[in-house]
Amino acid sequence: MSDTSLSTVERKTLRTLESKIETGKQAFIEVGTALRDIRDGRLYRESHKSFDSYVQDRWNFQKRYAVFLISAVDVAENVNHGSQKVVDGAVISSVPEIPNERVARELAKVPEDEQADVWEEVTTTSPKVTAAAVRSVVEKRAETAAKPQPPLKPSYPPYVQEALDNARVGNAIVDDINAALAKVRALASGSGMELLLNKHQAITSFLQSAKSAVSTTIPYAVCPRCKGAKCPQCGNYGWVTSLMSQQLKTKE
Ligand SMILES: [Zn+2]
């Protein structure tokens, strides 16, 4: 047996010691909860004028540290919100606990209404729950939020290509009719043709609006809801127009 191997007794000792460290790392939540109760109940008031001077004198904490511990409790409660169940008298949470202060500190920087989502993502996607893992999830989320949905690449799926072709044909037809109307206009400016001139103007403006209607129906992006799988939001086309893409984004 090489001298790096642990004996059965040593292995047991290591487990016991490690579980003590694990409990100690988690204790910041208990300390934070106790501090918050003392602060909120003003239980320091017999000996101190303020909570700050109490933590400084009694515990030799910087005020900042006490504030952090209390905010860590808020974060922990926030990420556990709605996920706790009482089973046989014990509170069971389906969300993993925040393992240590550094992770809590990182999570406290996230806006309150995003903490639960970030925490869920970290605990389900990161191999190890660390402050760095929290940071990387936050950065990735910021990138995705900042990046607008990219317009369709030149290799469109067939159904999008068909819609694009139709829009192009529609525009070409309108152009042809406009060209024909220009000839009619030349004729209509002759004497005795006022009625034709009036009709001509009406038809021209009708065609103009038809053309702009066509241009707003050109596919712009893969449907952000179904990612092209076709859903009621995109009318089962799998793609959306530029306008719809904006509208779906603001509704999210
Ligand atoms: Zn869709």
Under 8 Å CB-to-CB from 152, ≥6 apart: which residues?
160, 219, 220, 221, 222, 239
What's the pLDDT score for residue 163? 78
Q: How far is the CA of 251 from the centre of ligand 1 (A)?
A: 14
What's the pLDDT score for residue 207? 78
Q: How far is the CA of 44 from the centre of ligand 1 (A)?
A: 58
Residue 221 corresponds to which tokens in the numbers above? Answer: 């992006």
Q: How far is the CA of 195 from the centre of ligand 1 (A)?
A: 48
Q: How far is the CA of 220 from the centre of ligand 1 (A)?
A: 13
What's the pLDDT score for residue 149? 60
Compute the distance between CA of residue 229 and CA of residue 222 in angstroms, rounded to an integer: 9
Q: How far is the CA of 226 from the centre of ligand 1 (A)?
A: 4
Q: How far is the CA of 75 from the centre of ligand 1 (A)?
A: 35
End-to-end Cα separation, the chain, in angstroms: 61
What's the pLDDT score for residue 74? 87
Please report where in the chains the tokens 């004497």 appear, as a residue: 191
What's the pLDDT score for residue 2? 60
What's the pLDDT score for residue 41? 92
Q: How far is the CA of 216 from the centre of ligand 1 (A)?
A: 18
Closest CA to 136 of 116, 170, 110, 175: 110
Q: How far is the CA of 204 from the centre of ligand 1 (A)?
A: 35
Q: How far is the CA of 248 from the centre of ligand 1 (A)?
A: 10
| CA distances from residue 82 to 77, 94, 121 in whole angstroms, order as listed | 9, 9, 16
Under 8 Å CB-to-CB from 99, ≥6 apart: which residues?
25, 26, 129
Residue 229 corresponds to which tokens in the numbers above? Answer: 């799988």
pLDDT less than 70: residues of the chain? 1-2, 81-94, 148-155, 250-252
What's the pLDDT score for residue 135? 92
Strands (E) in 125-246, as ranges, are 219-222, 239-241
Phi, then psi, of 72 in degrees rounded to 5: -65, -35
What's the pLDDT score for residue 148? 66
Q: Are 171 and 215 in contact (CB under 8 A)?
A: yes
Compute the distance between CA of residue 99 and CA of residue 29 in angstroms, rounded to an integer: 10
Closest CA to 144 of 121, 128, 127, 126: 121
Q: How far is the CA of 210 from the centre of ligand 1 (A)?
A: 25
Compute the distance between CA of residue 60 and CA of residue 238 in angstroms, rounded to an integer: 62
Q: How far is the CA of 33 from the centre of ligand 1 (A)?
A: 46
